[in-house]
Amino acid sequence: MIALRLRKALDELRHFDEYDHLIVNDQLDRAYQVLRAIYLVERARRPAPGGPERPDPELDELRAIVDANNRSRPATHALGLLASEPPS
């Protein structure tokens, strides 16, 4: 059962480049913080009916979290996991 789950995880990981955002889930609190920030930043991209997006200091902080996550190069982490994959 564990081998099957690992194979499934690797199969899913091979598609990492199809996503707009990647989160390395090595620290649950940090991963949740990044996920929440991505969600709220993406939701804010859709301006409210009747006006443009207003400046929002909290949104700026959330964008900084998303940017920091992107700078941490999560794709490199995914590639490293795939490179260490044992042969089938």
**Which range is least confidently modeled, 1-5, 52-56, 74-78, 79-83?**
52-56
Residue 41: the pLDDT is: 93
Cα–Cα distance between 28 and 86 in angstroms, integer?
26
Could you state, in order of their start, the residue ranges of all structural domains in the chain? 2-83
Write the pLDDT tens digit of every residue in 12-66. Answer: 999 999 999 999 999 999 999 999 999 999 988 876 666 665 667 889 999 999 9
pTM comes to 0.77
3-state secondary structure of 69: helix
CA 69 to chain CA centroid, nearest Å: 7
Q: How far is the C-alpha of 67 from the C-alpha of 24, rounded, in Å?
A: 14
